[in-house]
Structure 1
Amino acid sequence: MAGHKRHHDGKIAGLYDLDKTLGRGHFAVVKLARHVFTGEKVAVKVIDKTKLDPVARGHLFQEVRCMKMVQHPNVVRLYEVIDTATKLYLILELGDGGDMYDCIMKHEGGLTEEVAKCYFAQIVHAISYCHRLHVVHRDLKPENVVFFEKQGVVKLTDFGFSNRFQPGKKLNTSCGSLAYSAPEILLGDEYDAPAVDIWSLGVILFMLVCGQPPFQEANDSETLTMIMDCKYTVPPHISRACIDLIGHMLQRDPKKRATLEQIESHQWLQGVDPSPATKLSTPLVSHRSLSEEEHGSIIQRMVLGGIADRDAITEAQPATPSAATPPLIFPQPLLFCFHFSDVTT
């Protein structure tokens, strides 16, 4: 199937039409895209493999492995991976409400605690799930939390620094973003994997309710000093319960930090649904019925695209939908996995 597939400007393997750029990184660009058969929108992380050094390549492979493992309603889904000679395309679930950092910046002084509770509980729920799979995120920050307004949830994304860990064994890779990183990571020490995510959760909660990071000084040196001294000031309008929870996460000594179980059972989070996504009346993967014309057109495009022959596609579905037989329904998006070693890019 892969032999005659080619990547053209603005199109990935005949399956996705690339659109505007949503963001950029050192080795990657994130673009909006549409599935050519269904029209469903996705986010595509395009990685230029020619620019990757061995360390970056290792992070990339870890990201893919971890995202394949982590299937949770509060984690952005990795739909598929398309590998070409020079590019790697990660096809991701597309959020429709921007990221949490932009949301916080629109609320001077922070969000109300009631709203913050809803968002924070979902983030904790997702991280708890990741840690049960022995996956540590290591780059938790508001920029990596995405809103899905139609679903009414927030989801974690960007597992570029994630890794597997074994309970009781320490990691030693320094990574993440300064303002959100635990002191032991910044010192270059070996560290307990779950504890570094707990510290970052404390920073996120502080930002949600205060509207600014707890450790953000004029320069990196001063910021580092504040983190090491664990010095921060909570505005007077924050409740005692919230201050208590922040304080239990932002502990200089990782052994004294709250566990995820202690966070989830803390009084500040009582009465909050940690996973509204699991109670949605509609599935997380959207469906829509197709007209007879759309049905025929998609089958024709699948045949022309080399996905399969017409008999294989229609084997379990009548060629012409009727009132008695429901029309062919495609999920969001069609999920195929390809490896194109001979693709020109």
Structure 2
Amino acid sequence: MTDEQWATVWEVFNSAQTMPAGERSRLLRSAGLDSGMLEEVRALLELSGRYVSADGASSAVAPRQELPRFAAGEELGRYIIISLIGEGGFGRVYAARDKQLRRDVAIKVLNQSSTESAGKVLEEARAASALNHPNILTVHETLLEGSYVAIVMELVDGPSLRQVLAEAKGRLPLEHTLRAGRQIAEALREAHGVHIVHRDVKPENVLLRRKDGYLKLVDFGLASGLNSRGNAADHGEFAGTMRYLAPEQIAGEPATAASDVFALGLVLYEMAAGVHPFGRHSPIDSALAIASVEPVPPIRHVRTLPRDLNRLIVESLHKNPGLRPAAAEVVRRLEKIQDGLATRRLPRLPLLIAGVLVCALLFFGWQRFPRPVKLQLRMQARLLSGQPGRESAAAISPDGKYAVYSWQKRESDATVTVVREIETERVTTLDIPGPYAWLPDGQHIGFVRRTAEADRLCTVKLDGSEEAIILEARQIGQFAWSP
């Protein structure tokens, strides 16, 4: 659609939404629009909650049944309500306690206005529950009642990315932007690998877990299941996410993995530059800008932004979904930018001094022992692992009994930590990030958990138990334990 056609569509839409029902229908019939332009006007009217069909019958959203409000101490099956922690057009979220498994959970109680919408929620909840990734909120089960459907999920004690951005009052530090963006991209890579599309990536749907700093991507398809064009959507809910829709979604096409990457590009832009690239006075104005306006490169707002990050964000916001990078490529490129940033920040003066000292020692050593000593060495190589895929960050225990390394079977798979007993070849997997450093006892492994607030140097036993924090710092680079 050309800019002139978009302007005509927008003019007709603004005129139609202020008219009574009968006049609106006559305007749509007499506007002289082609079928594509007429469909765009109808879509905008439907999203604004004011669409009336040609016969004058209103198709506005029917009022939904009143949701029950649960008080502290009430029971939903085996769950005891603790408190209300949030509510909105979608429903309400409660903190609750699982009596059988003795764990805290979150229960999202959603309006059920039709059997179809309930079925969509249940279907997508089952799909989300199949995802097992540290950056994806765990869905435990669904509860279906007469007037509502409830989703039982992992309880995350921490703020949303939207709250973090609000507290920052602008852009986030570059390290935090890269760290958060990479975790969101890893979650999308995991979902896209099993053909699940999120459809609602935005700062409100990213939660920061306080205990370890992990980001959790929430609402995998659940909000979209209720907000698609049908009786389950309303103006408030849909408008709340229009600023993160991809151009093809605004055009009425179904969301794809590329649509998620576009939304991720918007989130990266906000974190890196402190502004939304298509921020306008209203959600519909933002949607129009997304569909027709090229974004200003974020480096125009932040001159010190790495060019590779600027290029990645711009490519993620391409109007053509086929030209956007896949989530797996976003992960790879963010990793590369992080590695480059760490390399540039290595202190250069100590390295220069160390180099001079090494050269001096070699020179004087050569003068003292001018004749070389020939050593007869016999070396034998041994293959410790033959797994398919990518292995990195390997470290051998001081006693030579164990090897620890990172392993990724396929590019679409999550990276796991493997501990291999060298003699028996027995393998254990741990949920810790690399790189690694062995403690002198050969029974503990050191690693760094990186969070939005700080880096934490931790240790853990070979079986994954007794994880402990040794120290916290703003940034931890290379590390090792003395003998």
> Following the alignment from structure 1 to structure 2, what is the Cα–Cα distance between the partners of residues 161 and 62?
13
Alignment check: 8 A CA contact 1:147 1:153 kept: yes
Deviations 1:237-294 (A, max 9, x none): 4222221110110101111111223212224244799879931749xx999xxxxxxx
> Following the alignment from structure 2 to structure 1, what is the Cα–Cα distance between the partners of residues 465 and 162?
27
Q: Superposed, which structure 2 residues align to 1:4-15 within 5 Å?
A: 10-13=73-76, 15=78
Query: Which of 109, 112, 133 does residue 173 from structure 2 map onto?
Result: 112
TM, length-normalised to structure 1: 0.68
TM, length-normalised to structure 2: 0.50
Shift of 1:32: 1.2
Q: Superposed, which structure 2 residues align to 1:168-247 within 5 Å?
A: 177-189=241-253, 193-228=256-291, 229-232=293-296, 234=298, 235-236=301-302, 237-247=304-314
What SS does structure 2 have at the residue aligned with 1:136? coil
Alignment check: 8 A CA contact 2:185 2:328 kept: no
Segment drifting more, 271-280 vs 121-130? 271-280
Query: Which of 431, 449, 454 does residue 278 from structure 1 map onto?
Result: 431
1:137 aligns to 2:198 (yes or no):
yes
> Following the alignment from structure 1 to structure 2, what is the Cα–Cα distance between the partners of residues 53 and 84?
12
Alignment check: 8 A CA contact 2:90 2:223 kept: no
Alignment check: 8 A CA contact 2:122 2:142 kept: no
Shift of 1:41: 2.3
> Following the alignment from structure 1 to structure 2, what is the Cα–Cα distance between the partners of residues 217 and 162?
23
Aligned to 1:56: 117
Closer/same/farther in 2, CA of residues 83 and 172 from structure 1, 3 Å limit? closer
1:81 aligns to 2:142 (yes or no):
yes
What SS does structure 2 have at the residue aligned with 1:106? helix
Shift of 1:172: 10
Give 2:241's aligned amino acid.
S
> Following the alignment from structure 1 to structure 2, what is the Cα–Cα distance between the partners of residues 88 and 225?
34
> Following the alignment from structure 2 to structure 1, what is the Cα–Cα distance between the partners of residues 170 and 149?
40
Shift of 1:195: 0.8
Alignment check: 8 A CA contact 1:135 1:162 kept: no
Aligned to 2:151: 90
* Bigger Rg, which one: 2
Shift of 1:184: 0.7
Shift of 1:233: 5.0
Shift of 1:121: 0.8
Shift of 1:72: 1.4
Closer/same/farther in 2, CA of residues 226 and 13 from structure 1, 3 Å limit? closer
Aligned to 2:217: 156
> Following the alignment from structure 1 to structure 2, what is the Cα–Cα distance between the partners of residues 264 and 210?
20
> Following the alignment from structure 1 to structure 2, what is the Cα–Cα distance between the partners of residues 101 and 36?
32
Deviations 1:94-129 (A, max 9, x none): 111111110011112211111111111111111001
Give 1:268's aligned amino acid.
I
Shift of 1:162: 6.0
Query: Which of 316, 326, 338 does residue 259 from structure 1 map onto?
Result: 326
What SS does structure 1 have at the residue aligned with 2:155? coil
Query: Structure 2 stretches of 5 or more lacking a match?
Result: 1-69, 343-405, 407-413, 417-429, 434-459, 467-483
Q: Superposed, which structure 2 residues align to 1:269-308 within 5 Å?
A: 269-270=338-339, 278-279=431-432, 281=460
Shift of 1:35: 3.0
> Following the alignment from structure 2 to structure 1, what is the Cα–Cα distance between the partners of residues 82 and 180?
30
> Following the alignment from structure 1 to structure 2, what is the Cα–Cα distance between the partners of residues 251 and 105?
27
Give 1:265's aligned amino acid.
R
Q: Please provide the CA RMSD for this pair.
A: 3.3
Closer/same/farther in 2, CA of residues 24 and 139 from structure 1, 3 Å limit? same
Shift of 1:38: 6.5
> Following the alignment from structure 1 to structure 2, what is the Cα–Cα distance between the partners of residues 245 and 269?
13
Alignment check: 8 A CA contact 1:35 1:42 kept: yes
> Following the alignment from structure 2 to structure 1, what is the Cα–Cα distance between the partners of residues 177 and 282?
28
> Following the alignment from structure 2 to structure 1, what is the Cα–Cα distance between the partners of residues 163 and 116?
30
> Following the alignment from structure 1 to structure 2, what is the Cα–Cα distance between the partners of residues 124 and 188?
25
Alignment check: 8 A CA contact 2:142 2:152 kept: yes
Shift of 1:43: 1.0
State how many pairs are aligned: 268
> Following the alignment from structure 1 to structure 2, what is the Cα–Cα distance between the partners of residues 84 and 24?
19
> Following the alignment from structure 2 to structure 1, what is the Cα–Cα distance between the partners of residues 89 and 317?
30
Deviations 1:62-95 (A, max 9, x none): 3312222212111111122233344433221111
Shift of 1:197: 0.6
Aligned to 2:187: 126
Closer/same/farther in 2, CA of residues 123 and 135 from structure 1, 3 Å limit? same
Question: What percent of counterpart residues are identical?
Answer: 26
Aligned to 2:480: none
User: Which structure has the higher relative contact order (CA within 8 Å, separation 6+)?
Assistant: 1
> Following the alignment from structure 1 to structure 2, what is the Cα–Cα distance between the partners of residues 269 and 58?
42
Give 1:12's aligned amino acid.
E
Closer/same/farther in 2, CA of residues 27 and 231 from structure 1, 3 Å limit? closer
Shift of 1:151: 2.8
Query: Structure 1 stretches of 5 or more lacking a match?
Result: 1-7, 164-170, 288-345
> Following the alignment from structure 1 to structure 2, what is the Cα–Cα distance between the partners of residues 218 and 208?
20
